[in-house]
Structure 1
Amino acid sequence: MNTVLPDVFTEVLARHGDRVAVTDADGSLGYAALADRARAAADTLARHEVPGERLRVGLYAANSTDYVVGYLAALFAGAVPFLADSAFGPFELSRIAEDCGLDLLVHAPGADVRAVVDRAPGDAGGIGALGVSRVRRYDAPRPRLLDDTEVCRFTSGSTGRPNCIEFSGAAVSAAAANWAKGTGLTAGDRIACFAALSNGLAFNTSLLAAFLPGASLHLSQGLPTASRVVRLLEGTAATRLVAFPALYESIVRRAPKEGFATVRAAISSGAPLRETVREEFTRLTGVPIHNYYGVAEAGPLTYAPDGSGSGLGPPLPGVRLLAEEQGIRVRSESMGSRYLNAPGVFEERLDGEGYYRTGDQGHLVDGVLHLTGRTSRLVNVGGRKIDPIEIADVLRAAPGVLDAVAFEAENQHGEPALAAVVAVGAGVTAQSLRTHCAATLPSFKVPGILRLVDRIPANSIGKPSVERLRRLLGEPRND
């Protein structure tokens, strides 16, 4: 099989030599040193080759230089990296391991991987501070990868299982090259990234994209508080800030007086950013926020170069975008190929011309995209898509629950949050329901807003009344 990404990274790492490539709180690596460490780690992974098949390596950890080394090591070893969200819990991780037929798992030393690994965590060695464990075998045969698949990432599935998106090396390379070209990324840029590298916001804008021109990538570890953001920006003299809307809202609430002197652009995506937050952030810091619109299955699609807040910008190079009454359709050079673990589902969202139906609604004004809503039911909280039907089903399975409805609402800060109204019997508490959810769902899928009622309010045809459900959230609590 002819691969793309190993050759691209080999050339890039050699070309930029001793320039700083990536840093975290524990240190930094130049381009040449990153190549050396990745090659050595690739030898560790290659010892576990599966005869006649490509090794499947899950990456399950927070951002770090070791994470970047592990990603490159998988590519250099001829393996396929599967980038799992570190917020996934053991239950969701085990579904991924079984659905995708993982061979190895690269994970943080403290991660709960006991339900997935075949032996003690770290039994297959390590990559820096990260452990490498063999994944136990499952009875079901594992699905076959497409011949040109080089990277797999995940998005929320309609069945409660994360959908595994297969990407060709050409698609990943195009996403990075078109982002760098479309946003003017240069060797002089220093990118402070607060989004997980497993997420499209960081993966498309801050991994290969940063390395192509020789820029440097600076990663934060731990909870991204406003003070931690300021420290990283000052310590690295960052020129770009990449983060989800929630972080910008946190910065606005903290109202920092310094730390942004070198930052020329802040990039936001994953969820809508309120105009009041955009304006206040720029007033406080002097830094414009540039919207970026992307879809997990299709990569980066638009970028607003002026940071004015009027829309999401025009399409990036390599992107064709149609905004119609039925919703937004896109076709891009960075398009995923299919869902490995959900045959036919991805293909159903493609039309006869190869355009992907995004589920978003919007329109183009002078070539600039403006979103107006969603055609699908998924809830967008902090850049993660959540299926409310999945959440309601989990709640209904809890002892004492009569019925449940989950939906998107606003928390006390006006930010999007996952809410649930639950009809319960005697003895059920909000805490018991959260504990029940946490046993099977990752933390970001546990409803942040819970209201307990005797019965779910319905409309005239017997369906839950969304208007009355939202009104309930504003009434005094009795639970």
Structure 2
Amino acid sequence: MKRIAVIAPEGTLDLAALEDAADRGGLRFSAAGIPSGALVALMLPNCLAFVPAYLALRRLSATVALIPPKYRARELEAIRRGVAPLCFVTTKTATQAPGLAARRVALVDFPCAGEQLAVVFPPENERTSVIPPGTVLLKFTSGSTGQPKGIAFDVANLETEATNIVRGLGIGPDDMILAPVPLCHSYGFDLGVLTLLQAGCTLALEKGFVPRRMLQDLASGRVTVFLGVPAMYRACLALPASVDASPRVRYLLSCTAPLPASVITAFHARYGAAICQHYGSSETGAVTTHVPAQVLERPDSVGRPMGDVAVSVVDAAGHPVAPGVEGEVVVSSGAVAHGGYVLGAPADRTSFQPGGYHTGDVGRFADGFLYVHGRVDDLINVGGFKVSPREVIDVLESYPAVSEAAVVGVRGPSGEEVVYAAVTLSRAATEADILAHCRSRLAEYEIPRRVDIRSSLPHGPTGKVRLRAQDVRL
């Protein structure tokens, strides 16, 4: 019986067909002008061709840069000037994307692709960043300025990451991973692509997210691991009460942004399934995953460290703190990017230190479980009192009418920093209603100066809310 490797809306590939497509695809990329050892940007959506295209480039010993198709002119120009990829491999229709300038385009009849792939050669420029020797993969994540940060990984990093995930989640050949999240992002690539290649399991891809269809897939008994994000679980809770499904999945994962405990408990109460928060970053790979049997006892935890990952919590001087005490989360693992940042602000590079990667996340340990409470640099200084945006968000999202919330610190009329919140609603409510809810649960200095009710909140390519103080006016 043939083992299915990839399932996508366009079709399926068994393991033998996947290897064959990668072999033939490598030859066609070579014929299109990609030499051995080049740095190539892979900019594909979730599709049947993604995994074989990645493998085809690796057959050519290429350093592969994963580029989100949602990137636009500013991000693409920063990447082109910073790391100077020889070419971009993308869909034929994406060649018209703003910022994807071309001096030459070669169309490739790639095996298993629903349409021709395009190899776009941009105008030549001198690379402004140094790519460390041994780099085989570049991931990109948004920096504090909104410009992409490039992160360099070698073969050992990827092998360690794959091993940590496969062993940590107990993935085997009989598992099926359902991934509606982008494979070009660290979450989808590591837990989807690397896991498929390491364990020989099945990777099922979705190009979009439809709540009812997702619940049907999860109740079918075929899917064993689901790669979700908070917005997906919120959308399932917003479905009419007549929608009934019981997910039969070993791991319902949630990553890329914190998931409030209230959503976890509400989802379990309605659907009978526990959502496991998975904590990691583009720089570190997988760090922790919750234990399904422990989720309801600790719904606000992100779980325990995975595999060979060592996690510590340190004070401002870098010294470990006692269990229960908050500090900065530091991660040490063979999966942490060997080359650090190759593109980004100089200040970002200080996160990589001999003792591990300083995540910038505020966390604490209790009984071996990690709890993450926000970002070190997100703390809002209200008259000398420090306010965690995460804590305010949790209170806002515990109000029944609030679907999603974001909190930032902004300057008030007198120049003082104040708490600003923006929310979306699932049913009618007023700012006064929401503030009354906050007053019963927050200290006076933590209460938002304003709650802005919006039809939607800005999200980045991975679904994470990206509300910036400079975009807010009181």
TM-score range, shorter-chain basis?
A: 0.7 to 0.9
Distance 1:67 1:235, change over 3 A: farther
Deviates more, 1:104-113 or 1:233-242: 233-242
Name the counterpart of 1:389.
none
Name the counterpart of 1:62.
45
CA-CA distance at 1:263 after TM superposition: 1.9
Name the counterpart of 1:354.
355
> TM-score scaled by structure 1?
0.74
CA deviations 1:289-330 (Å, max 9, x no partner) are 111110211111111122515111111111111112331111
Residue 266 of structure 2 aligns to a residue whose secondary structure is helix
Residue 22 of structure 1 aligns to a residue whose secondary structure is strand
Name the counterpart of 2:404.
415
Name the counterpart of 1:248.
233
2:83·2:127 contact (CA, 8 Å) conserved in 1? no
Residue 92 of structure 2 aligns to a residue whose secondary structure is coil
Which of 163, 170, 181 is the matching residue for 1:195? 181
How many residues align structurally? 397
Write the letter of the residue equivalent to 1:93: L
CA deviations 1:116-146 (Å, max 9, x no partner) are 2424755466562352223222443353422
Q: Tell me, yes or no, if structure 1 residue 239 matches structure 2 residue 217.
A: no
2:165·2:191 contact (CA, 8 Å) conserved in 1? yes
What does residue range 460-475 of structure 1 map to in structure 2 within 5 Å? 462-466=415-419, 470-474=448-452
Aligned mates of 2:196, 2:42 — CA distance in 1: 20
Q: Tell me, yes or no, if structure 1 residue 312 matches structure 2 residue 302.
A: yes
CA deviations 1:346-395 (Å, max 9, x no partner) are 541133x331110111111121101122102499xxxxxxxxxxxxxxxx
Residue 370 of structure 2 aligns to a residue whose secondary structure is strand
Q: Tell me, yes or no, if structure 1 residue 458 matches structure 2 residue 442.
A: no
Name the counterpart of 1:290.
276
CA-CA distance at 1:100 after TM superposition: 1.4
Residue 273 of structure 1 aligns to a residue whose secondary structure is coil
Name the counterpart of 2:76.
93
Write the letter of the residue equivalent to 2:187: L
Aligned mates of 2:245, 2:8 — CA distance in 1: 18
Write the letter of the residue equivalent to 1:244: V
2:107·2:118 contact (CA, 8 Å) conserved in 1? yes
Aligned mates of 1:105, 1:277 — CA distance in 2: 39
1:56·1:102 contact (CA, 8 Å) conserved in 2? yes
CA deviations 1:73-132 (Å, max 9, x no partner) are 111111111111222123322221222111121223332335324247554665623522
CA-CA distance at 1:409 after TM superposition: 11
2:406·2:421 contact (CA, 8 Å) conserved in 1? no
1:234·1:260 contact (CA, 8 Å) conserved in 2? yes
Aligned mates of 1:419, 1:233 — CA distance in 2: 35
Residue 96 of structure 1 aligns to a residue whose secondary structure is helix
Aligned mates of 2:212, 2:243 — CA distance in 1: 11
Runs of at least 4 residues of structure 1 off by over 6 A? 407-412, 418-421, 475-479
Name the counterpart of 1:323.
313
CA-CA distance at 1:418 after TM superposition: 7.9
Residue 450 of structure 2 aligns to a residue whose secondary structure is helix
Q: Tell me, yes or no, if structure 1 residue 140 matches structure 2 residue 129.
A: no
Name the counterpart of 1:393.
none
CA deviations 1:247-297 (Å, max 9, x no partner) are 011011115745545322201111111112111222232221111110211
> TM-score scaled by structure 2?
0.75
What does residue range 14-413 of structure 1 map to in structure 2 within 5 Å? 18-47=2-31, 54-111=37-94, 112-113=96-97, 115-119=99-103, 123=107, 126=110, 128=113, 129=115, 131-222=117-208, 224-233=209-218, 237-254=222-239, 257-306=243-292, 308-309=295-296, 310=298, 311-326=301-316, 327-336=328-337, 337-342=339-344, 344-351=346-353, 353-377=354-378, 413=402
Distance 1:372 1:325, change over 3 A: farther
Residue 465 of structure 1 aligns to a residue whose secondary structure is strand
Write the letter of the residue equivalent to 1:252: L
Aligned mates of 2:135, 2:198 — CA distance in 1: 21
1:185·1:210 contact (CA, 8 Å) conserved in 2? no
Deviates more, 1:333-342 or 1:125-134: 125-134
Aligned mates of 1:354, 1:45 — CA distance in 2: 41
2:37·2:60 contact (CA, 8 Å) conserved in 1? no
Residue 12 of structure 2 aligns to a residue whose secondary structure is strand
Residue 136 of structure 2 aligns to a residue whose secondary structure is strand
Write the letter of the residue equivalent to 1:57: V
1:200·1:294 contact (CA, 8 Å) conserved in 2? no
* Superposition RMSD in Å: 3.2
Distance 1:475 1:45, change over 3 A: closer
Distance 1:468 1:36, change over 3 A: closer
Aligned mates of 2:90, 2:454 — CA distance in 1: 43
Write the letter of the residue equivalent to 2:413: A
Residue 343 of structure 2 aligns to a residue whose secondary structure is coil
Which 5+ residue runs of structure 2 have no aligned equivalent?
317-327, 381-392, 423-447, 456-472
1:301·1:316 contact (CA, 8 Å) conserved in 2? yes
Aligned mates of 1:122, 1:250 — CA distance in 2: 41
2:329·2:358 contact (CA, 8 Å) conserved in 1? yes
Write the letter of the residue equivalent to 1:37: A
Write the letter of the residue equivalent to 2:71: F
1:155·1:296 contact (CA, 8 Å) conserved in 2? yes
1:22·1:218 contact (CA, 8 Å) conserved in 2? yes
Percent identical residues: 24
Aligned mates of 2:291, 2:449 — CA distance in 1: 39
Aligned mates of 2:180, 2:131 — CA distance in 1: 31
1:54·1:78 contact (CA, 8 Å) conserved in 2? yes
Aligned mates of 1:110, 1:410 — CA distance in 2: 41
Residue 65 of structure 1 aligns to a residue whose secondary structure is coil
CA-CA distance at 1:49 after TM superposition: 5.5
